[in-house]
Amino acid sequence: MASSSLTLSQAIFSPSLPRRGSSSSSSPSLSFPIFSGLKSTPFTSSHRRFLLPSTSFTKQQLSVRASAAVETLDKTDAALVEKSVNTIRFLAVDAVEKANSGHPGLPMGCAPMGHILYDEVMKYNPKNPYWFNRDRFVLSAGHGCMLQYALLHLAGYDSVQEEDLKSFRQWGSKIPGHPENFETPGVEVTTGPLGQGIANAVGLALAERHLAARFNKPDSEIVDHYTYVILGDGCQMEGISNEACSLAGHWGLGKLIAFYDDNHISIDGDTEIAFTEDVSARFESLGWHVIWVKNGNTGYDEIRAAIKEAKAVKDKPTMIKVTTTIGFGSPNKANSYSVHGSALGAKEVEATRNNLGWPYEPFHVPGDVKTHWSRHTSEGAALETEWNAKFAEYEKKYPEEAADLKSIITGELPAGWAKALPTYLPESPADATRNLSQQNLNALAKVLPGFLGGSADLASSNMTLLKMFGDFQKNSPEERNLRFGVREHGMGAICNGIALHSLGLIPYCATFFVFTDYMRGAMRISALSEAGVIYVMTHDSIGLGEDGPTHQPIEHLASFRAMPNILMFRPADGNETAGAYKVAVLKRKTPSVLALSRQKLPQLAGTSIDGVAKGGYIVSDNSSGNKPDIILLGTGSELEIAVKAADELRKEGKTVRVVSLVSWELYDEQPADYKESVLPASVTARVSIEAGSTFGWLKFLGDKGKAIGVDGFGASAPADRIYKEFGITAEAVVAAAKEVS
C-alpha cells in the first residue's frame, strides 16, 4: 500500500488524556489522515489522541502474512509455550513487586488462557490498536491488569514498553492500577469495579452483531470480529454481570466468549464462605453455551479445544469455565487470598522463580520468546491491510452502506445533521420535555447512522422508541430499539461498551431519573472512560406527582453536577431539549444526562438551541447597561416560574433578568467576560428556583442571594399541590427577590 494512500482504519484514534503527570508537551505535530476528498486537519498533542501508521506489503507478502495470522500454534514447541506463559507470569510478578502494590495472583493463574488468546487466537494489529475489525479483549477482573499489560508488551504494542512495566501504578505511568482505555492503547474499556467489564463486553459484542447485520453482504463480510473477556468470582457475584449476561443470552450474541477464572479465592478467602451457587447451571439457564476446562494451569490443549468449540456455536454466547490456581507457581501463597491483592515479597518471588525454573532477572523476556511474539507486528499489519483492500472493494459495490459505516467507524457526523433537530416557537403547544425528547430522538435517528438505544422497561413512559425502527432481537439485530428490561445497571454498562466500540456509535439509554441510583456505577465509568453515552432521564422532580418520594429525585441533580466529565442538562422546553441533544451528540468523549419532565411545560420566549451550548444564558431582561435590579435563575420546569415572577416584579418597576442555567458544566467552561455579561458581579440580588436540592447554588448566588428548592424528600399528591406545599411558586420567588434586593 502506497504511503500516500489514506485508509479507513487510519482514521481511527484513541482517547488519550495526558493525566497524572504524563508528559505530552513535546509531542510533534502530525497530520490527521482522513478520507479522500476531506480537508486535512492539523493534529497535535492537544487533540489527546494517538495516530498509528500502517505498514506496506506486496500482494505476495500480504497473502503469506494474513494466512499465518490465523494459524494456531500446533507446531510451536511445547517448551516455548511454557516459557512464554512463564514470561507473562513473571512480568506480572516483577511489576507488582517493584511497585509494592497490585494483584499478582490472577495473572499467574490466567497466563495460559491469556497466552493462547493473544498469541494464537485473536486478530489485532499492535501498531494500530484501533483497527476497526480487530477482536476485542476485556479484562473484567481489572485488578489483574498486569496480565493484560504483559500480553500487550509481548505482542508489540508501543503503549507498554519495558520502562512502562517498571513504572506500574506510579504517577504518570501508562499502565495504571486498573485498565484504563484513555491511558493505554490496546485496552478497550476501563475496568476495575467488578462486573462492569463483562457488561461492557456485552455492549461490544452487541455492536459487532448490529453492524454485521446492517453492513455485511453475501459477497462481503466486512464486519467480523469476536469479543473475548476474562471475569472472576467477584464479577460473577456482582448483580450487574447477571443483568448483562441475561441480555447476552437473550440476544444470542454468538461472538461473545467469556472465560470465567474459576479459582475459588476472593479477598476474604475461599469463596465457600459466600458463593456456592452452580455458575455453569446459571449461565445455561441464561441461554449461554457452557464449557468447563478443568485444568486451566497447564491444559493448553483443553483451552484451545474449548475456544474452537465456542466459535462453532453461532447462536449463543459461550462461557468457558476455566479452573485455575490463583498465584500458580508460588510455593507458599498459591491458592490463597494472600496472593490476590499484594506483592509476593522478595523471598516468595525467589521461591517462585526456583519452583518454576525461571533463572532470569526481573522484567527479562527471553530471546526466543521475544522472537516468537515479534511476528504479530507483521501479521497484524497484514490483517489490517487485507481488510482495507476488502473495504475498498465493498465501497465500490455498496457506496451508501460504506458511507454510513465509515461515519460510524470514524465518528465523523454527516453534513448538516443538526438541521434535523426540531425548533419551537412560543405559540407551539405546551408539552412535557420527555415528549419533546422523543421528537428529537426520532429526528436524530433519521440522520445519524450510529444512533441507537432504549429503555429499562419504560420506553412508553420515557418516550424513547424510535418509530421508524424495530427492536434489536436475536433474529432482527439490524434494528435500533434496544429492550433492556428492568436492568438499569447492566443497561448503562452495555451502552458504555457500545460507545467505546466505534466513535460514531451513539447510544442512549433511559429510565426515571431517580433510578440513576441503580446505574450510577456505570454512569461514573462513562465519565471516567470518556464514553459519550446519552442518558435520557425522565420524571425529573417532585413534578412527577402521585408516585411520591420513592420516585421523586431530590439530590440527583447535585450529585451529577459534582461528577467530573459529565454534562447535566435540565432543559425547560423544546428548544432547550433540542440544544441539549445537539451538545450531547457532539460531545463524544463526555456523557450527557438529560433530566426531563413528566408534566407539560410551555414553549418559552427567549430560549434557544445556541444558548444551551453556553450552559447559561439570558432568557429575558428589561434592564440596560448590564445592571438589572434582580437576577432570577432557573432550570427545567422552574424556568417558567422564574419568568412569571419576573413579570410580576417588572409590574412593580423592577428591572429583572431571567437566566437559564440549563447546564452548569457548560457555563463553567465559558470565558470570564461572557459569564460577567450574564451574571455581573455588581448585581448581588439573585434568586434561584429549582425543584431539587439547593446544594451547589451558592456559587451562582453569592452570600446575599437566596435559593428556593427542595431539601427534603417529596410527597405523594398531584404535582400542582406538591409545588404549592413546597413553595416552588412564582409568589415565593417574588418574595425572595424583595428580600434580597
Query: Which of 497, 567, 506 has the alpha carbon at shortest distance from 537?
Result: 567
Buried b (16+ CB within 10 A) or exposed e, 254-278: bbbbbbbbbbbbbeeeebeeeeeee
Query: Which of 558, 604, 614, 606 has the alpha carbon at shortest distance from 583?
Result: 614
Please state the residue numbers annotated as binding site for thiamine diphosphate: 143, 192-194, 234, 263, 340, 515
Taking a C-beta distance cutoff of 8 angstroms, is the pair 324, 297 a contact?
yes
Q: Phi then psi for 270, rounded to 5 degrees?
A: -65, 140
Our measurement of the distance from residue 720's CA atom to the centroid of its chain's CA atoms, rounded to an integer in Å, reads: 38
3-class state of residue 240 by DSSP: helix
Buried b (16+ CB within 10 A) or exposed e, 651-664: eeebbbbbbbbbbb
Q: How far apart are CA 298 and CA 21, in angstroms?
A: 41
Cell of 594: 438529560
Query: Which of 287, 354, 298, 350 has the alpha carbon at shortest distance from 323?
Result: 298
The 3-class secondary structure across 343-375, one letter per residue, is: CCCHHHHHHHHHHHCCCCCCCCCCHHHHHHHHH
Query: Which of 89, 651, 680, 731 has the alpha carbon at shortest distance from 357?
Result: 89
State the amino acid at position 588 in one-letter form. Answer: R
Q: How far apart are CA 232 and CA 133, in angstroms?
A: 27
Please state the residue numbers annotated as binding site for substrate: 103, 340, 434, 461, 539, 547, 551, 598
Question: 10 Å Cβ neighbour count for 172?
Answer: 12
Q: Which of 188, 348, 488, 530 is catalytic?
A: 488
Taking a C-beta distance cutoff of 8 angstroms, is the pair 104, 146 a contact?
yes
State the amino acid at position 354 in one-letter form. Answer: N
Please state the residue numbers annotated as binding site for Mg(2+): 233, 263, 265
State the amino acid at position 548 in one-letter form. Answer: G
CA distances from 324 to 83, 117, 146, 295, 297 (A): 18, 16, 17, 7, 6
Which residues make Cβ contacts (< 8 Å) with residue 109, sequence separation at least 6? 261, 263, 296, 297, 324, 325, 326, 327, 328
Taking a C-beta distance cutoff of 8 angstroms, is the pair 381, 125 a contact?
yes
Taking a C-beta distance cutoff of 8 angstroms, is the pair 636, 540 a contact?
yes
Please state the residue numbers annotated as binding site: 103, 143, 192-194, 233-234, 263, 265, 340, 434, 461, 515, 539, 547, 551, 598
CA distances from 451 to 380, 443, 727 (A): 30, 11, 40
Q: How far apart are CA 432 and CA 160, in angstroms?
A: 51
Partners of 432 in the β-ladder: 600
DSSP state of 677: H
- Please spell the DSSP secondary structure of 298-356, one letter per residue: T-HHHHHHHHHHHHH--SS-EEEEEE--TTTT-TTTTTSGGGTSS---HHHHHHHHHHH
- Please spell the DSSP secondary structure of 148-174, one letter per residue: HHHHHHHHT-TTS-HHHHTTTTSTT-S
* Active-site residue, 488 included: yes
Residue written as grid cell 490463583: 326
Catalytic residues: 488
